[in-house]
Amino acid sequence: MIIRKASEEDSPAICSLSRQLGYDYPQERIEEKLKSLTTRDDHCIFVALNRESHRVIGYAHAQIYDVLFHDRVLNLLGIVVDESFRSGGAGSLLLEELEKFSREKGCSGIRVNSGSHRTGAHHFYRKNGFHDEKEQKRFFREVREEI
């Protein structure tokens, strides 16, 4: 397994992997976001490559979460490994890379929010040293254009 920083050229693979999680977001938008986010110091995006084929088989995206009421942490925004490569170590290697990044940025830990229905992901996080912290609901309010 090879882990490296993501680039715009990874957008087709990231789009396909995101669809495996149920996120049908346009590839062009993913490419635009990769172009922007990979230049920022508060974001990190890594991809896992199959050593033989050099095909992208997973990715992880995280952002520094720095608030007034808690120590700085790294917020894991998304991690996915291709269904046919799961349980092969790619996800754990991506987490190791995130941990290195978090240490470099002075973070005290890594946090992740995971949907209650993603029980397989919960097992993966626990297996990789994460513990349940709390349950919560997420609320969303759309920002509409002014008329």
Q: What are 107-123's pLDDT values in tens digits?
A: 999 999 988 888 889 99
Instruction: State pLDDT tens for residues 32-83.
Output: 999 999 999 999 999 999 999 999 999 999 999 999 999 999 999 999 999 9
What HEC string does the chain produce? CEEEECCHHHHHHHHHHHHHCCCCCCHHHHHHHHHHHCCCCCEEEEEEECCCCCCEEEEEEEEEECCCCCCCEEEEEEEEECHHHCCCCHHHHHHHHHHHHHHHCCCCCEEECCCCCCHHHHHHHHHCCCCCCCCCCCCCCCCCCCC
Domains in the chain with CATH codes: 2-127 (3.40.630.30)
What pTM does this model have? 0.91
